[in-house]
Amino acid sequence: MGITEDIFGEFSDPDSGKKIAVKRYTLTSASGVSVQVISYGACVSAIIVPDKTGKKDHVTLGFDKFEDYTKINYQGSTIGRHANRIGKGKMTINGEEYQLTINNNANHLHGGKRGWDKYIWESCISDGSVFFSHFSPDGDQGYPGDVLAQVKYTLDDEGGLHIDYEAMTTRATTINMTNHAFFNLAGHDAGQKGLFEHVVKLNADCFTPVSDQLIPTGELAPVGGTGFDLRSPTTFKEALTNVPGGIDHNFCIHEKRRGLLEFAASFHHPPSGRVLEVYTTEPGFQVYTSNFLPKDEGAMVGRNGSSYKFQGAFCCEPQNYPDAINHKHFPEDVYCPGKPYKHSILFKFLVRK
């Protein structure tokens, strides 16, 4: 049990031209769960969990070589300054309009062309946790204010991965951080067959419908009577037959008390017995069934030469609602001096016999 550190690779910074060592930290727990995090993008690069027979396997998509993390977006990364989409990259804060960089059709996604996932973060080990920090200057990707952000990773003895985010700003700005791990509890290489076997249950009685460009319409729609009603245990196979094209939607936590760590979702893979429970202090979470991964065999090669394909994994990204800055009735996502950003996530891994 504990934390070890090594060097995972070398990053060529596009701004300075300098080569920077990529640090990797391995956290292990008494439960048999182990987690690796790297300083590039404050990224969760690996999670290994035993099944009901004690056999261990990777349960997130990932890569053997550091360079591959720079070629594929958002694999386990910390997302910031703003997770998810902002329509047309436009926002107004205190009467001042801002244009953010456009990197997803005509919209802004996951912090822009060079979000926080594409930087080397400062890092250290302290008091049984791994800390990462990143400075984002005023004007970065169009956002106002200097922001200093921190991510803290802690693995408890029961196999719970705690992720704690904090950020301070010098000007009013929008902040919405999350983690973008791709999970498959059947094993990282189990593909769509493994995904379909998962039983999912969401603590959400509403969701935010989206346009054809996946921007929220502003409606808070009840899930009842729709394909998004996953309040009772449902297999992903059944759920995806009811949602053509796959799930890539924000769900609103039932009676959420913001700031308190509360249950959002559970994912159970009965053949292996592995379970992931997700808790968050934010009011929403995005469920994404990797609909934009390639459909062709070998187009995306991951750990141990595995082929990662369309709907071969899922993401559960706790966060504020997408495009909240442009919908006054969505939860507040503007932070300012004296009002720091804080968000905690718990990914709790269990085994059912």
Set 180, 198, 249, 268: catalytic member:
180
Residue 84, annotated ligand binder?
yes
What is the dihedral sign for C-alpha 59, 285, 74, 150? Answer: negative
Set 197, 277, 282, 317: catalytic member:
317
β strands within 140-297, DSSP E: 147-155, 160-169, 173-174, 178-179, 199-202, 204-208, 221-222, 234-235, 248-253, 262-269, 274-280, 284-288
Residue 57, annotated ligand binder?
no
Q: What is the CA radius of gyration of the chain?
A: 19
DSSP, collapsed to helix, strand or coil, labels residue 110 as coil
Cα separation of the two ends of the chain: 24
Is 219 a catalytic site residue? no
Residue 85, annotated ligand binder?
yes
- Burial class for 134, CB neighbours closer than 10 Å (0-12, 13-18, 19+): buried
DSSP, collapsed to helix, strand or coil, labels residue 194 as helix
For the chain, give percent helix, strand, coil, nearest 5.
10, 45, 45
Is 180 a catalytic site residue? yes
Binding-site residue ranges: 84-85, 248
Binding-site residue ranges for beta-D-galactose: 84-85, 248
Active site amino acids: 180, 317
